[in-house]
Every structure is written in C-alpha cells, then in structure tokens.
Amino acid sequence: MNKPNIVILGAGYGGMMTTVKLQKSLNINEATITLVNKNDYHYQSTWLHENAAGTLHHDRTRIPVKDVVNMSKVNFIEDTVVSIKPDEKKVKLENSVLDYDILVLGLGFEAATFGIPGLEEHAFTIGNINSARLIKEHIEYNFAMYHNEKEKNQGRLNIVVGGGGFTGIEFVGELANRIPELCNEYDIDKALVRVINVEGSPSVLPGFDPQLVEYAMNSLESRGVEFITGAMLKECKPDSIVYQKDDKLEEIPTQTTVWAAGVRANSIVEASGFQTNRGKAEVRPDMRAPDYDDVFVIGDCALIMNEETGRPYPPTAQIAIQESGIVAHNVKSLVQGKDELEAFEPKILGTVASLGHTDAIGVVLNQRKIFGWSATVMKKVIDNRYLLKLGGPGLLIRKGKFNIFY
Amino acid sequence: MNKPNIVILGAGYGGMMTTVKLQKSLNINEATITLVNKNDYHYQSTWLHENAAGTLHHDRTRIPVKDVVNMSKVNFIEDTVVSIKPDEKKVKLENSVLDYDILVLGLGFEAATFGIPGLEEHAFTIGNINSARLIKEHIEYNFAMYHNEKEKNQGRLNIVVGGGGFTGIEFVGELANRIPELCNEYDIDKALVRVINVEGSPSVLPGFDPQLVEYAMNSLESRGVEFITGAMLKECKPDSIVYQKDDKLEEIPTQTTVWAAGVRANSIVEASGFQTNRGKAEVRPDMRAPDYDDVFVIGDCALIMNEETGRPYPPTAQIAIQESGIVAHNVKSLVQGKDELEAFEPKILGTVASLGHTDAIGVVLNQRKIFGWSATVMKKVIDNRYLLKLGGPGLLIRKGKFNIFY
C-alpha cells in the first residue's frame, strides 16, 4: 500500500482510543488518518445518566475532539455517516464521500424499542448529550409546571424508568440523589414524587451477584425508589405507561418515561451488508469483520463470543477500550505490511454500578464483591483511569472525578 | 373597640410593609394583627422578570414571611382568599373564615388578556414565583429540544414578548443577557435565536422620555432584540402568534409567548362589591375604600388619581411602599380611637427601567435623565433601599444587589 487511508468512524470509546493510539504509533508519512464523528466532541456514554438526572453538567461528560486528537496528524471531519460500501471501500457521509484503505467502524449503539407501541414517540432515551440534557430539562419543566396548574397532575412527579439493567439502575440512583434538590427548587413535597423502575425479569441487574443486587435494591428503596419486577411494558402513552404483571394490565400516570431497557448496534452495520449476528458484526479474533479484510469493527458494533459462557461479552466501555489496543496494533501491522495480526483477549477487570453518587456495588478482580463507599471510589478510579489513557494528566485534571468523599 | 382584629390580606409590597410597620408601632395589647398570604413567602414582583429569564434565582427574589414578620406579634395564615364580605366584616379563605374590625386589602394584580384568543391558554405571564420559574424552564426545555428533532423547529428558538411596557422591556433586556449563555449551554448558534417584542403603541415604554426610549431601543437592538411596534396581537396559538400591523396579519412561529401587556387588580376587589373604577377601589385620600370606613386598600388594588395629569398613578412598588406608611399610620389612629386620618401624597422619587443587568434608563428627582451604568447603580440602590426598609440590614445583606460592576 502506498500511504494508505485509514478512516475511523465514530469518536466513542473505541474509535477515540484507536485514533489516539494510532496518532502516536504511526508516523505521519506512513498513513493518512481520518476521524469522522457527528459532533466535534467525544462523550463518555457511561456518564450520561448523570447528565440526564441533572447531577453532573454535560460539559463534564464531553471532551472536544481537538483536546485529545492531534489535528496536525489526524484529519477530523464533523459529519454523519449515511452508509458504508465495503465492496467499493467508500463511506458516504451527509456532505461528502470518503475512500478508505483500512476502515475502523465504531459507530456505537442506538436505542431498541422492540416495537412496543408509543415508546419511540413518547419515551426518552439516554443515548447522547442531546437526549440526556433533554431528560434533565423535561423533569425540571414538569416539576416547574406542577404548581402552575389548578388541577394537580401527579404524572408530572412520577418518573418511570423502563429497564433494571446497568443504565436503568445507575439512572434511578442519580435520581434518588437529585429529587430532594428538585423538590427544594420547585417547592414540592418530596413524599409526592415517585421514581419507579420497571423491569421484565424477576430481578434487576441480571448477571450481578444476588447479594449485591439485594444490597443495591435496599440502598435505592431506602432513598425512595420503587421497583416493579417481572413486569413487561406494553405501551407508552403521552401521559402514562401500561405494563403487564401477573397477567394483569396496570397503568401509571407519568409525563416522563425513560427507556433504558434496550440498545442495539448502530443499524448502519446491518444496512451496509456486513454479515451480522444480533445486528452486530461477529468479528474475527483480530477484530476484523468476518467478510472484509480491511474493516475492523470495535465497541458496541462488534460481537465477541465468550467461549466460557457461550454468550457474547456485554457491550461495555471497558471492552471497547481494550479492543482499541488490538485494533490500533493490527491497523499498524497492516500499514507496515505485516501479515501477523494479534488476537483480542478481553480481560474483565471488574464491574462497578453506581447507585447515585453516595453508593455503588461492584465485582473486581477474582470476583471480589465490593459495595458502599469503597465501590464509589473504585468507580471513580475506573473513570479517571480512562481519562488518563485518553488524554493524559491534563485531561484527567480537567474532567476527572476527585471528590471521593462526595 | 375592644382589642380590634386587624386583618391584612396579601404579603406583597403594600401588605408586607404595612404589617412590618404595624408590628412595630402597635402594642400587642392594643390589637390583634393577622396577615394572610397564599404562600409562606413575600416576593419582589419587580424582580420576577429576572427569574423568568433565568438571570436571577427565584430564591433571591422571595423572602420567607417569618424572616421579616415577628410571629409572636402577628398571626400568619397561609391560605388563599376566596371572597370578602365587607358588610359582614368577614373574609372567606379556602380553609377558614376570618372576622375583622379593620381590613387592609393588598391582593395585588393579575394578568388581563383582554379576550385575545388563545392568550390565556398558550401564553405565559410573569405573575408570581411559580409562573416566572416556569418561563425559565420552558425556554430551556425548548432549547434542549432543538437538537433532538430531525426537523429543526425555529419556533423553539423564537421568544415573543407581548407588550413594550415596563415589564416587557425589562424582560427582553434580561433575555438579551441570557441568550448567549443558553446558546452555549445547548450548542445553539446565537444567530438563530430571535427575541421579539411586539407592542401596540407606535413606541415602547409609553410615558418615558423619547430620548431615553431611543436609547433603550438602541441598547436592546444592539444585543439582538427585535421590536415590532404599532402591532396588535390577534391570536396566540400553541406554536405561533398572529398580529396585525398596517392592516396586514402576520404570523411568527413560536413556542414561547410571554404576555406582559396587561395587568388588572385582583378580581376579588370587584367581586366583593367594592365600588370600583377600572377594577380598582378608588380610595379616599386616607386610603380607605370609598364605601367602607374599616377597609383600607393598598397597592395595585387601589386607584389614586394624579390631580396634575388627570390620570391615575401607575401601579408601582414605589407607590405601594409609600402607601403603606399612611395605611399603617391610619390603622393605628383608628385603633387608638383617633378620628383624624392622614391623607396620602405620593412622591415619585424616580423611575428606572433596567435593560438587562448591564444597562438601564431612568428619570430621577427633578426629571433628571439617567442611563447606562449610573442608571443600573440607581436601580440597585432603589432595590436595596426597599430591603433595608422591609427587613433591616440583615435582609439587605442576604438578598441585596451589590455587584454594581455586573
């Protein structure tokens, strides 16, 4: 190849870290690197629930691309990907078309509503900076409205979160911290506010240790969160949600339904003709798409099977960041004409779920369970470690979480 | 009279200052003083436009009643007045009925929409803490929504203010300061945002010196405010307003119409059978209602003719505060069995209209015109002077405006 074009789609965890690693490891004469992203900023999608609850400003969550990408080494294009044509080695953007020699596809997730009526129209999702800050504003608006109506509307004070997985639980945890502030701000009796988590499984946080799950539910319930488990959302209306539990239909009046129960890979993966499994490209060990030698897929768009469990690894930031190391290494090998690509081996170092900023649960190396203050500290350590990797100490100082005593 | 019941309705400028003066001048054995107010706080209605624009937190604008009223000397009842029966000397509240020997009626203003279709349903008014903070939230919500819709809705970024009087102008002034912050917060191009003041007269700020009006319009236009004068609002729709100018109907798409062009006295005045002029009790020189010797009317519910101009004095905080001096004095005289009541003589010390927190215009004693920085300082001096009168140095320090350099 004669100075190949490397095109990286998406500045999420995977795409961003790949870019940062390649700009360090490749000489400017070896390849042209182009990063494409919808916005001129990267954001930490694992922090969005805090922006949505209003406990963290969204500017803490996002990082301008130019702050971590060396613009003299990387071409940055702010545009939206429309489609990929892997046979022609072209990417169609809204405003231009790019040719590539090596593609890194890291276009992330989108919400999946499984055809539940009204969800797409009336429910909010915690998908990006825009949708997260909208939830914050929407809740505040409804609280502000409450005392402006003669007929009090309880639906303005009910917040229903669909899904008791990671995002749903972390979000209700933040809400539990936020509600007292909101009540104070809008002169509302805290006893009137309901935060309700609706989950289809018999328990929340599926896959977590049952002891930790119990700890989490106790912690959240003590701060006013209600759980309705074994309940399937049936319909989302503009001012209520309907769910089924024990063969009975129930309805909760609410102006605010947040859907946190389903994500899927960006639908561009499927639409572009890659061979997929559950909407994702089931990548080879070297992280390349099954059917194209010049396309790497990373993060939530890639599916990697866990041989031990026979189930795919979950789409986490941790895995996307780890993948970037192999992807960057293998891209460099291709550029330098080496045939031997390395295989990716995920190392799950631990998982911590926050329960608001005052509590957390987690499992760290060797299945050690942690909870409470030590888990909140661990969560911040994980977050800060990523910032250090991404942008060095300067970025860590600007965006890191250091207030370990809350 | 044998320890008469003094009942004061409303903790606005007039009622609040009357209460504070009476609790100082009357001995607890001379009379029972009862203050009735809808909320447990007093607020400065002249600051509400800042809360509505989001440039000042509403807690700066309100003052808990207990912070200035001595609860061991005054009975405070948090309730809403339903009706007054002056012939029976009774006041009906939502939750009880009060008897009085002397009544001070200071129930303030309400919005008047003059039957313009849709205004009551779809327009906001800057009437109290609840409605002011709702406007702030509404604007933020619309800005947050903007990037969440595929089809961009310009109506979310257009803010129409109906009325170029005092409130309308002060509000657009604050908006002019606020818009750049909002654009920054929600990633919106400032050039897209429109703040439009629609006024029926040929000029805004009727009654103000033409030179100062010109100064004000220049100042506001230079910060992006648009003026449409000689235009009558014809209809307010959920997502637009229609006005007529030069016999042509025009429509502006907007989600946010703020109606600042009309207030009237609380309709309870008229409904309770007091003899009224333009909905207000045209009080005698001693501030008593024309038809009842035991009822004083104060503030926006009272009408006082300016003999020089043949027009009523405007319903301002300044006049309400001055009236409280005479009302308190005359109430005390009645309690002490004196027949000679004093007559009220308004002294217009000056009028300052802010144009956001960086500019203002005004007229002070002897018709001296002021504008710019000195006028902004004068405005703060006026505001701080009131706080000092109401609650002494402690209140001034807590709620005063001291940042004269912005």
Residue of B nearest to A124 (CA): B148
| Contact (CB<8Å) B134/A144 | yes
**Same domain membership, residue A119 and residue A96:** no
Which residues of chain B have a CB within 8 Å of the CB of A134?
141, 144-145, 148
At A270, is the secondary structure helix, strand, or coil?
helix
Domain annotation covers residue B96: yes
Mutate to test the interface with B, among A78, A128, A130 (most CBs of B within 10 A): A130
Whether A171 and A260 have beta carbons less than 8 Å apart is answered as: yes
Q: Going residue by residue through chain A (406 aa), what tens digit of pLDDT does each one get?
A: 579 999 999 999 999 999 999 999 999 999 999 999 999 999 999 999 999 999 999 999 999 999 999 999 999 999 999 999 999 999 999 999 999 999 999 999 999 989 999 999 999 999 999 999 999 999 999 999 999 999 999 999 999 999 999 999 999 999 999 999 999 999 999 999 999 999 999 999 988 999 999 999 999 999 999 999 999 999 999 999 999 999 999 999 999 999 999 889 999 999 999 999 999 999 999 999 999 999 999 999 999 998 888 889 988 999 999 999 999 999 999 999 998 899 999 988 889 999 998 999 999 887 899 999 999 999 999 999 999 999 999 999 999 998 887 6
**Same domain membership, residue B274 and residue B397:** no
Domain annotation covers residue B72: no
| Contact (CB<8Å) A141/B145 | no
| Contact (CB<8Å) A141/B136 | no
**Same domain membership, residue B400 and residue B361:** yes
ipTM of the complex: 0.84
Return the CATH number at B321. Answer: 3.50.50.60
In this prediction, residue B272 has a pLDDT band, given cuts at 50, 70 and 90, of very high
Whether A155 and B159 have beta carbons less than 8 Å apart is answered as: no
pLDDT for the residue A106: 98
**What is the C-alpha separation between A179 and A57, in angstroms, rounded?**
16
**Most confident listed range (A273-282, B8-17, B312-321):** B8-17
Structural domain count, chain B = 2
**Same domain membership, residue A118 and residue A95:** no
**Same domain membership, residue B370 and residue B333:** no
| Contact (CB<8Å) B134/A140 | no
Which of A340, A359, A379 is at the close of a domain?
A340
Which of B340, B358, B381 is at the close of a domain?
B340
Report the candidate in A163, A174, A207 with the shortest Cα–Cα distance to residue A362: A207
Domain annotation covers residue B52: no
Q: Which amino acid is at A189?
A: D
Over residues B220-235, mean pLDDT:
97
**Same domain membership, residue A326 and residue A212:** no
Q: Tens digits of per-residue pLDDT, B47-82?
A: 999 999 999 999 999 999 999 999 999 999 999 999
Domain annotation covers residue B162: yes
Residues from A contacting B (CB-CB < 8 Å) are 130-131, 133-134, 136-138, 140-141, 144-145, 147-148, 186-187
**Same domain membership, residue A228 and residue A375:** yes
* Residue B314: pLDDT over 90: no
Which residues of chain A have a CB within 8 Å of the CB of B136?
144
**Same domain membership, residue B202 and residue B256:** yes
Domain annotation covers residue B191: yes
pLDDT for the residue A24: 95
C-alpha torsion sign, points B278, B283, B287, B289: negative
Over residues B385-397, mean pLDDT:
92
Q: Which of A131, A141, A187 sits opposite B137 (nearest CB)?
A: A141
Residues from B contacting A (CB-CB < 8 Å) are 130-131, 133-134, 136-138, 140-141, 144-145, 147-148, 186-187
φ, ψ of residue B5 to 5 degrees: the values are -90, 115
Mutate to test the interface with A, among B39, B121, B134 (most CBs of A within 10 A): B134
Measure A149 CA to nearest chain B CA, in Å. Answer: 10
- Say which of B50, B110, B170, B199 is annotated catalytic: B170
In this prediction, residue B207 has a pLDDT band, given cuts at 50, 70 and 90, of confident
pLDDT for the residue A334: 96
Domain annotation covers residue B14: yes
Which residues of chain B have a CB within 8 Å of the CB of A144?
130, 133-134, 136-138
Domain annotation covers residue A65: no
| Contact (CB<8Å) A130/B141 | no
Q: Dihedral of the CA atoms A142, A144, A148, A154 (nearest 10)?
A: 40
- How many Cβ atoms are within 10 Å of A189's Cβ, its own excluded? 8
At B61, is the secondary structure helix, strand, or coil?
helix
**Same domain membership, residue B202 and residue B89:** no
**Same domain membership, residue B98 and residue B144:** no
Which residues of chain A have a CB within 8 Å of the CB of B144?
130, 133-134, 136-138
Return the CATH number at B152. Answer: 3.50.50.100
A203: domain range? 114-261+348-406
**Same domain membership, residue A356 and residue A395:** yes
Q: Tens digits of per-residue pLDDT, B151-194?
A: 999 999 999 999 999 999 999 999 999 999 999 999 999 999 99
**Same domain membership, residue A208 and residue A293:** no
Residue of A nearest to B146 (CA): A130
Domain annotation covers residue A173: yes
Over residues B341-350, mean pLDDT:
91
